[in-house]
Structure formats: structure tokens, C-alpha cells
Amino acid sequence: MIATTREDFREILRLVRPGARVLDVGCGEGELLELLTREKSVDGQGLEISPAGVAACLARGLAVVQGDGDRDLDHFPTRSFDYAILSKTLQQMREPKHVLSELLRIADQAVVSVPNFGHWRVRASLMVTGRMPETRALPDPWYSTPNIHLCTLKDFVDLCRELDLRIDACAALVTGKSARPIDPTKPLENWRSETALFLLSRRTEERAGAVPTDLFGEVALPAAEPEAPKRRRRRA
Amino acid sequence: MTAPATATPAIEVNGGTYRFPAGKGLRLDSGATLEPLEIAYKTYGRLNEDRSNAVLVCHALTGDQHLASPHPATGKPGWWSRFVGPGLPLDTDRYFVICSNVVGGCMGSTGPSSTNPKTGAPYALSFPVITIADMVRAQAMLVGALGIEKLFAVVGGSMGGMQVLQWAADFPERMFSAVCMAAAPRHSAQNIAFHEVGRQAVMADPDWRGGDYERHGVSPSKGLAVARMAAHITYLSEVALQRKFGRELQRDGLSWGFDADFQVESYLRHQGASFVDRFDANTYLYITRALDYFDLASQHGGVLAQAFRRARDVRFCVLSFSSDWLYSTAESRDIVRALNAAGCRASFVEIETDKGHDAFFLDEPELDRTLRGFLGSAAQARGLP
């Protein structure tokens, strides 16, 4: 087992194919890139906003550009990477939709993880306390949370459909446990997945020479029709 | 090659003046050939056995080869002695650091005050116009003459950073890594405008004598001092000037005249006056011109990324300072964008400081940390101990 405390790192490590070109958006101090470089011999590049993070990456010998995922993704030429990784920060972006489409302009595939606001703890927290939910995955009070664009699994799947993205794989992440492959379109998963990690690609373009890293099989998205009112769900 | 050793106890310092062999002049971008050619240089530390630990540092507009040893004219410590020495980011126990005076300079390299072999008098304005690429070509010849096939790093700030970029465009196979600080890929209209003010100040001094001041035994020091005063403002930031001087007066009360009432006036006058003791007016004209002519993209069909297309194996570190308005962060980002587009391995750091353009000379812990991190990991990749 790879020594890392972050369950999403283990999953990303599994998804990325060896020798790939990887852009890690919001790479922090470069732990993931270093791991990917060591274990998968990737050709890595980081984008990080904090000077301390950038300095730490440089000291690790990583290539890193100081910048803001919201503003500076235009640094990178179209299709210059095999993977663009955005781990647990999409919900902190000012324009998540734009960022998501930028990731898939720059790279053939994007690895994106998002906390699920549809998780039962979140729903229960709001329902019981009547206050903004504070959970394991979303621990900050409303006035100081960096998470300004939260979504549920269902919302995220809708956005992928709108951007014409294919979900190549999806896994539910729970702290301290191994990842569980899921079909994110299943309502039950929207209740029970705390965080979901997606492997996405463009649907419209053929990926020349890319071998799909399809671990769980492509997830068939239901056609975009307004959902009929469902029978009442039991309480979670 | 003469090599007078002036070793301090801590660093091994060598250097001298390299005279290019007869018949081996420098072909210039202007079409002229400069011959004879001498390049004055200094070295710090020791070249290792497989000659893989050499770092070339390129100096800025008014800098020189006295990088980490006292300046012979002023007696002050070398201009980058904060960063070059044992245990410092450019660790002389580890690297062999070379710094040469640019062609056109006035600290021993062939320049407008050198003797024109055709006339036996100083070149003055008969010296050919030089470019950043000419400076780099002369450096490459020197590095070759020192027996170094591939530099471990080429490092420079401001005009030195432009030379680093030019190195990457012209001699990428002869460098392993590159550090470009507080530079730009081209001179902007504002940059050219400030330089023109400086040149006009020099040329308006009656002692300039059409450039022939040396033959007349005079010096346009008033004009050169004014040029330096104007330029010096561009090296600082508004915040730093305000913090350092505010509206503080030199004496109690105003003079109700044109003496240097304000401390900032006195400071600038001092900057101008001390500059003329160590710098040549014609060199100032030639080097500012070389900077104005610099536009790396235009040498490559207007596409900056094309300049770096052969430099994919070079590791780049681009640095800017947040309060630098001479060569701003946006311009450094342009460089990074082009490097990325060319498929180069590039890192970029914007250092938060209010010290302006000149921050790369100053005590900036973040700069220290960045240089250490980048060079240290590059050294590891290069297999340097």
C-alpha cells in the first residue's frame, strides 16, 4: 500500500497511466505529483496559488507555475496534457463550469473530485439543525468556508452532460476506506457518497491514441429529459 | 588568458580578460564584426572534473563581472554577494560561477571606450551597435574557451534575464537549466521611453561632445547622473519610496529654493553622482539601445514560443516581483506561457514584495528559498554532489 493519508491520491494513482503528462491544478506542496512521478513516472506540472506551496514543489524538483486555477489555466496550450487533475477544489472556484471545460481543453482526460452535497449527512444536518451543514467532508462554518459552489452528484452529472463530457469512471471516496466504484447517476449513490472522484473526457472529439483508463466501464448517462416526479423516498 | 587570483579566505576567486584569438572576431547582428575582442570575467568556486558544475550569471544594464567580490572602483561588495558564496543559493562550494562583463561594457570588455584599431583613438560612436544576442554570443565563446561544453545553469535578472532567454533560444544544447528573474521578452514602449530620456540627458550634456568626450579629456557626468536618477526611480516602487523617504526633509524647514530639500532628492542626487564614478556614458547609450532592440519573438516570426522550440530539455525557472513595474509579472507570465506552448519544463514564481524591480539584489527570503529549491533539485537531476 502506498503511504498516503489521502484516499483520493490512492485512487488517482490507480487511474493515471504510466508515463503520462499530468497537470495538477492546485497542487499544494506537490505530494500527489511527487507520488505520481515516483510510482508512475509521469511528466508532471503543477499549478499552485500559494508561494509556500510553489517553493515546496520547486524543492522537490517539480515543475510548478504559480497561479490561480480560476484565471491562469489559459497558460497551458490545448491538449498539452494527458490528464488534468483537480482534487477537491472545483467547489472553491469562482467559475467551476469554465474551469471544467478548460481542464478538458488542456488535457484529454480530467480527474476531478468533489464533495457531494447530496450526502445523507449533509441532508440530515440541514434537516435536523436547520443550519448550514457542517460535516466531516465540509467542516467549515458558512461564513468562512472556501466552498462557494457546492453541488450534489446529480448536479455534477448534469453539468457533465451540459458540457458534453463522458464519465469514464467514478468512485465514491470515504476517509480511511478504499474507493468504491459507483454509478453516479444512481439516486442511492447521491445519498451515500460523501465525495466522488470522476474521470472525464470529451465526448465530441476522438482521442488519438489514448487508451481509456476505464476501470469501471463507461457510465451510461441517462438522456437529458426532465425527471418525472418520483415516488416518495424513504428517509435515509 | 591572464588569471590574477584575488582569493578571499572563503571563496576561490579567479578571472581576468579573455582575448579572442586573431581572426576570431564577434559577428554582430548589425552585420559588423568586432575585432579584436576582449571579455573581462570573474569566476567563483572551482570547476569540477567533468566540467558539469558551471553556472553563468548574466549581469543587468549597469552591472559587471564583479558578482561576489569587491568592486575595484567603489570597494563595495559584489552586486550579488548576498546570493553567491559558500552555503548561499549559488553555492560556490558546489558550483563554478562565471560572470563576464557584456560586450559594449566599460569594466574591461571591449566597448565604446576601447581603442578602435583603425584610428588608434577610442571608438566612441564608431563602436557598432550591439544587441542582447551579441552579448550572449560573446559569452558562449568565452564559456567555450574556458573548456565548458554545457553549463549547469544560466542565471540572470533584468537585462541578465533577457540574456538567459536569448541563451535558451540560441544555445539550448549548451545549458541544463535557466533562471530568468524580473525580465521581459521584449522592451515595451514605456521601457524605450525611459531609456530615451536617459540617452537625451547624456547627449544634452555639453561635455558629451558628440561622444568624443574622452579625446577632449572631459566627461558628461551631469547628463549621465540625470539619466541614472530617472532610471533609478523605475527600479523602485512607489510604496518603497514612500516608506523610505515620505516627505521627510534634509534639514529643518524648507530652503525656499532649489537645493535638495527633500530626502528623496538628496538620495537620487547621490545615486546619480556615485554612478558616474563607475560607469561610462557611451556604454550607457549602447547598452540601453541593445535593450530597446530586444524583442525575442520578432527574431522568431513573431511567435515567442518558437524561440524556445529547441529548449525542451532545459529546466526553466521564471521569477517576477509583484511590485516591479519596469518588467511586470504579466510579462514574466508571457514568457511562461510561451515556454509551456513550446513544451518546455517551466516553473514560475511571483515573489510578493514592495521593493520593486531591484528586489533581486536585495534580501528577499522567498527569492533565496526559490533559488535554493530550483537549483538544488536541478543539481540532483544533473548528478552534481
Question: Is the Cα dihedral B130, B132, B136, B139 positive or negative?
Answer: positive
Q: Which domain holds residue A76?
A: 7-202
Of residues B81, B109, B158, B320, which has the active-site annotation? Answer: B158
- Interface touch A63/B370, C-beta < 8 Å: no
pLDDT score of A219: 46
HEC-encoded secondary structure of A113-148: EEEECCCHHHHHHHHHHCCCCCCCCCCCCCCCCCCC
pLDDT score of A4: 55
Whether B352 contacts chain A with CB within 8 A: yes
- Closest residue in A to B367 (Cα–Cα): A55
pLDDT score of A26: 93
Q: Which of A56, A58, A61 is facing B381, going by the closest CB pair?
A: A61
Q: Is there a domain that residue A49 lies in?
A: yes
What's the rounded Cα separation, in Å, for the pair A147 and A114?
10
Residue B56's closest CA among B39, B72, B73, B71? B39
pLDDT score of B10: 66
User: How far away is chain A from the Cα of B378, in angstroms, using its nearest Cα?
Assistant: 7
Q: Which three cell numbers stand for residue B303?
A: 511567435
A100 neighbors A69 (Cβ within 8 angstroms): no
Residue A3 scores a pLDDT above 80 = no
What's the rounded Cα separation, in Å, for the pair A29 and A53?
4
- Interface touch B345/A63, C-beta < 8 Å: yes
In whole angstroms, how far apart are CA A184 and each of A180, B219, B351? 11, 79, 42
Percent of chain A with pLDDT over 70: 84
Of residues B114, B324, B328, B332, which has the active-site annotation? Answer: B324
For residue B374, the chain A residues in CB contact (below 8 A) are: 58
Start-to-end Cα distance in chain A: 33
Q: Is there a domain that residue A187 lies in?
A: yes
pLDDT digits (tens, 9 = 90+) for B59-103: 999 999 999 999 999 999 999 999 999 999 999 999 999 999 999
Model confidence, pTM: 0.89
Q: Which of A57, A58, A75 is facing B336, going by the closest CB pair?
A: A75
Whether B349 contacts chain A with CB within 8 A: yes
What's the rounded Cα separation, in Å, for the pair B190 and B354?
21
Residue A194's closest CA among A211, A212, A210, A174? A174
Active site residue B357: yes
User: How far away is chain B from the Cα of A50, in angstroms, using its nearest Cα?
Assistant: 10
Q: Which three cell numbers stand for residue B22?
A: 586573431
pLDDT score of A174: 81
Q: What is the DSSP string of B263-281?
A: HHHHHHHHHHHHHHTT--H
For residue A81, the chain B residues in CB contact (below 8 A) are: none
Q: Is there a domain that residue A82 lies in?
A: yes
**Bridge partners of B157?**
B181
- Closest residue in B to A54 (Cα–Cα): B349
Q: Which three cell numbers stand for residue B81?
A: 554577494
In whole angstroms, how far apart are CA B264 and each of B194, B197, B229, B230, B249? 19, 20, 11, 12, 8
CB atoms within 10 A of CB B83: 24
- Interface touch B377/A59, C-beta < 8 Å: yes
Residue B95's closest CA among B163, B46, B167, B22? B46
User: How far away is chain A from the Cα of B298, in angstroms, using its nearest Cα?
Assistant: 21
In whole angstroms, how far apart are CA B71 and each of B153, B225, B361? 24, 19, 15
Residue B358 in marked binding region: yes
Percent of chain B with pLDDT over 70: 97
ipTM of the complex: 0.85
How many distinct structural domains can be found in chain A? 1
Active site residue B207: no
Whether B51 contacts chain A with CB within 8 A: no
- Closest residue in A to B345 (Cα–Cα): A63
What's the rounded Cα separation, in Å, for the pair B156 and B178?
9
Q: What is the largest CA-CA distance in chain A?
A: 57
Domain spans, chain B: 13-186+296-382, 190-290
- Interface touch A66/B352, C-beta < 8 Å: no
CATH of the domain at A144: 3.40.50.150
Whether B312 contacts chain A with CB within 8 A: no
Fold of B190-290: Rna Polymerase Sigma Factor; Chain: A (1.10.1740)
User: How far away is chain B from the Cα of A131, in angstroms, using its nearest Cα?
Assistant: 39
Q: Give the pairing type, strands B90-91 and B84-85.
A: parallel
Fold of B13-186+296-382: Rossmann fold (3.40.50)
Regions of chain B where pLDDT drops below 50: 1-9
A40 neighbors A13 (Cβ within 8 angstroms): yes
Residue B228 in marked binding region: yes
Mean predicted confidence (pLDDT) in A184-193 = 95
User: How far away is chain A from the Cα of B59, in angstroms, using its nearest Cα?
Assistant: 24
pLDDT score of A227: 43
- Interface touch A65/B341, C-beta < 8 Å: no
Active site residue B158: yes
For B301, phi then psi, to 5°, come to 65, 25
Q: Is there a domain that residue A224 lies in?
A: no
Residue A5 pLDDT grade (very low, low, confident, very high; cuts 50, 70, 90): low
Omega before B122 cis (within 30°)?
no
Whether B61 contacts chain A with CB within 8 A: no
- Kind plus residue range of the DSSP H or E element containing B286: helix B281-292
Q: Is there a domain that residue A131 lies in?
A: yes
Cα B56–chain centre separation? 12
pLDDT score of B7: 41
For residue A66, the chain B residues in CB contact (below 8 A) are: 348-350
Residue A59 pLDDT grade (very low, low, confident, very high; cuts 50, 70, 90): confident
Whether B377 contacts chain A with CB within 8 A: yes
Residue A205 pLDDT grade (very low, low, confident, very high; cuts 50, 70, 90): low
Residue A231 scores a pLDDT above 80 = no
